[in-house]
A and B are shown apart, each in its own frame.
Chain A
Amino acid sequence: MSAQTYTGPRRRGVGVALTTVTWLLALAFFFPVLWLAMTAFKQENQASSSPPTWVFTPTLDQFRAVIEGGSAVYVGNSAIATGVSTLLVLLLGIPASYALSIRPVKRVSDVLFFFISTKMLPVVAVIVPIYVIAGQLRVLDNIWTLVVLYTAMNLPIAVWMMRSFFQEIPVEVLEAASMDGAGLMRTLRSVLLPMVAPGIAATALICVIFAWNEFFFALNLTASRAATVPLFITSTMTSEGLFLARLSAAAILASLPVILAGWIAQKQLVRGLSMGAIK
């Protein structure tokens, strides 16, 4: 399938056809996102017109309405839940993955099995007691409850991912560090962390995506004070009837951070999504 295969006029014809098909499919897949973005720049009557409005004068009214319409609280909550939980994941996950790769504890695969099995535990199986316990502890509608839950949600993925990065470090590097008498913290800080920095960035990206997008816990455990960005979208949907253009603007703004991060870090994304299995 390399370039050399496509030589001669017939081969070239096949190549052009395949390229055309690929582009058509790519545009078809992207089109709903484009349509959402276009709708965000319309007036409400153009947004829900039948037949659809294709040509219009773009307006920023909807974005202005979203930004001025009380979204700041939601964005602040999402920023705390995402940022702090990602930091906690790294803080707990980096030493743990070190203990599962470089200087391993006994029964590494049992521990890894345990971590991955918590990802298979359906969230619905624990939501009921979490809701009741959080109620008794008076931490319902509290952003720190989400911070703790998002940390637990992402930690297993992070441990698996970072372990795969640690395992790529050549043994010689570690031997040299221990010969020089460097302790655990020294070795971690000045030898290992710089080497796995790209891996840590990839891990953080995945944690940020999952925490930013999380809806189920946020829906059930928050009300007005601790509500996050996904809930801003659903509240726009229900409280004000159907303002499709404004809803689209909210959806685009809410997705923008993750879309941009994903576009920029495509390679890290693959590794992160496969929890480190794919290099």
Chain B
Amino acid sequence: MTAAVATPAHTRSPQDARAVARAEGWRRRAPLLPALIFTIVVTQVPFLVTIWYSLRSRNLLRPESDLFVGFDNYVRIAQDATFRQAAANSVVITLGCVLVAMLLGILLALLLDRPFAGRGLARTLLITPFLLMPVASSVLWSVAMLNPTYGLLNWTLSLVGIPSVDWTSTYPVVSILMALVWQWTPFMMLLVLAGLQAQPRDVLEAAAMDGAGWWRTFVSITLPQLRRYIELGVLLGIIYVVNTFDQIYIMTAGGPGTESANLPFYIYQRAFLGFDIGQAAAMGVVVVIATIIVATLALRLIFRSFDVRE
């Protein structure tokens, strides 16, 4: 490329200049293309197929049933009370987990942002729930913690006289939230802690010199500084938690009945236990449309957080 640029401009015809510019454009694009094409093929093509399936009545158990049915699958979704319940559960589980985990994460990050004996060890212990394999942590919660007979939570509650509760069948959504909040709090804590540690020390010292108390400093200096980090944590949390599957599959299997199914789990049930490909595909499309609406709003935030420059 250096040779082409070094050629004095007045010796080239406009066509040459355009050809050079085009060649330079492709030279810049070449390293990007393998990743871009791979991602398009693996993520977008299946989605187009999903749209196609959603217009057909395909059922893997009845091969002869594969007919074009137009929007029938979508009409059935609109009438499907279980789908609405799963959608509501998705919202409750995602927002509940992200908000509670963020509040706890802020609290823990504030506590960790001061020097004390063994701070590194305390931080290491605190991030461990996030590092545990989600399937392992689901097993841990569904059996070791919440089992009605020998689970640790009921034993702890029995010490203060509260009778035994069958957590995963009586309060399935709450049980799932416990496991999820436990897993995601460290994630939020790490992000907020990074924000706290990026605070300009001189500003904090100046505030202390001016006699600003802890609360005053927190509200007028720390919180505005943290805002970007909190937004980022909430956004990434939503992206990950909305796809929650492991905890539900292992802890409640969506039950009792379909009481604790979220959309990923319900679609999984329709596709892999009911073999109803058309219906499951249509639900997938609806979820994507909803996601696009939420994401368009969210992406504005993310681009501000990441400071994307051209």
Contact = CB atoms under 8 A, between A and B. Distances in A.
A234 B32 contact: no
B264 A123 contact: yes
Contact of A1 (B114, B143, B246, B284): B114
B137 to A, nearest CB: 8
Interface residues of A, number: 109
Contact of B112 (A22, A234, A254): A22
Contacts of A92: 34-35, 38
Contacts of A181: 2
Interface residues of B, number: 109
A274 B194 contact: yes
Interface string B89-118: 000000000000000000010011111111
Given A36-B144, A128-B53, A132-B277, A116 B288 contact: no
Interface string B115-135: 111100011111111111111
Interface in B127-152: 127-137, 139-141, 143-145, 147, 149-150, 152
B230 to A, nearest CB: 12
Given A19-B116, A104-B28, A123 B136 contact: no
B280 A118 contact: no
Nearest to B193: A270
Interface stretch (B8-16, B74-82, B166-174, B181-189): B181-189
Contacts of B114: 1, 3, 6, 15, 18
Nearest to B54: A128
Interface of A: 1-6, 15, 18-19, 21-23, 25-27, 29-30, 32-33, 35-36, 39, 48-52, 92-93, 95-96, 98-100, 103-106, 108-109, 111-133, 148-149, 151-152, 155-156, 159-160, 164, 178, 181, 184, 209, 212-213, 215-216, 219-220, 229-230, 233-234, 237, 242, 244, 247-248, 251-252, 254-255, 258-259, 262-263, 266, 269-270, 273-279
